[in-house]
Amino acid sequence: MPTFAMSRIFCIANQKGGVGKTTTSVNLAAGLAKIGQRVLLVDLDPQGNATMGSGVDKRNLGTSVYDVLLEATGIASARVRAERAGYDVLGANRELAGAEIELVNLPQRNERLGLALAQVTADYDFVLVDCPPALSLLTLNGLCCAHGVIVPMQCEYFALEGLTDLVNTIKQVHANLNPGLQLIGLLRVMFDARITLQSQVSEQLKMHFGDKVFNTVIPRNVRLAEAPSYGLPGVVFDPSSKGALAFVEFAREVAGRVGIHSA
Ligand code: ADP
Ligand code: MG
């Protein structure tokens, strides 16, 4: 694993839906905040689940990531504080669904998020980008400015197959658009060790990807699934739940990988 001095923009990506991207984004953000890190969470999904799951109402956003990408609004004025969650949010809502098409004709269409983030990186130790379930222009904006990609995945039969496209995309972006981009690691989520298939896929993953597989494993835990309806990351909603403890552990692992050693 490489150690970075300033490598702190991480995309949470997987082109499949429902694999745990948003749960990972909000809980890693809250976990990092809990260990004293300053975090900005960027919601790049028009569904706005990371926004809502952080306790920010996507229906009442004055400005959103849409304005940042399309209207050149500064992040300093578009971000909001998710007070209870403990980090800042650049929110998203349905408006962002149109951005994909509108971006096509704009200059620097792949770099617009990166250019905007450059204005505020001094304010944060970590910027996390919750990507939509597609290898789209929105996701590309995340990958073009990120130092790393964190890939949450369920240990299921087709999981490895889906990874090939994502790994190829990361390689392409690395080669052509962002030489700083790295696959930071694969995070096993919704894990149930009692299910033999999951343990088998988990072993396969370690064989194929070695130390690119994070040590921390996130268990299937109902408290993590309940938390968004309270507008809170699971880490804040029920800090002693197994899921919350796993995500705080994961936050420490991620911080450790960039050379931050928290208490
Ligand atoms: P994505 O952002 O990739 O679409 P989500 O994070 O929204 O995926 O997760 C999909 C569903 O699975 C959500 O209902 C979420 O609450 C649930 N979920 C995610 N991780 C866990 C977990 N570790 N334990 C239980 N439920 C989970
Ligand atoms: Mg999501």
Which three-class secondary structure string do you get for the chain?
Answer: CCCCCCCCEEEECCCCCCCCHHHHHHHHHHHHHHCCCCEEEEECCCCCHHHHCCCCCHHHCCCCHHHHHHCCCCHHHHCEEECCCCEEEECCCHHHHHHHHHHCCCCCCCCHHHHHHCCCHHHCCEEEEECCCCCCHHHHHHHHHCCEEEEEECCCCCHHHHHHHHHHHHHHHHHHCCCCCEEEEEEEEEECCCCHHHHHHHHHHHHHHHHHEEEEEEECCHHHHHHHHHCCCHHHHCCCCHHHHHHHHHHHHHHHHCCCCCC
| Residues 151-172, mean pLDDT to the nearest whole number | 90
Measure 168 CA to ligand 1 centroid, in angstroms: 25
188 lines ligand 1 (CB under 6 A): no
Residue 132 has pLDDT above 70, yes or no: yes
Measure 43 CA to ligand 2 centroid, in angstroms: 9
Could you tell me if the ipTM is greater than 0.85?
Answer: yes
| Residues 94-108, mean pLDDT to the nearest whole number | 94
Residue nearest to atom 11 of ligand 1 (CA): 18
Residue 1 has pLDDT above 70, yes or no: no
Interval 80-100: pLDDT, tens? 999 999 999 999 999 999 999
Interval 176-192: pLDDT, tens? 999 999 999 999 999 99
* Ligand 1 atom closest to the CA of 49, numbered from 1: 7
Residue 193 or 246, more confident? 246
13 lines ligand 1 (CB under 6 A): no
Residue nearest to atom 6 of ligand 1 (CA): 20
Q: Which of 54-58, 104-108, 219-223 has the lowest mean pLDDT?
A: 104-108
pLDDT of 260 reads 81
21 lines ligand 1 (CB under 6 A): yes
Domains within the chain, CATH numbers bracketed:
9-257 (3.40.50.300)
Q: What is the pTM of this model?
A: 0.96
- The residue whose CB lies within 8 Å of the most ligand 1 atoms, and thus the one to mutate among 23, 43, 198, is 23
Interval 16-70: pLDDT, tens? 999 999 999 999 999 999 999 999 999 999 999 999 999 999 999 999 999 999 9
* Ligand 1 atom closest to the CA of 243, numbered from 1: 23
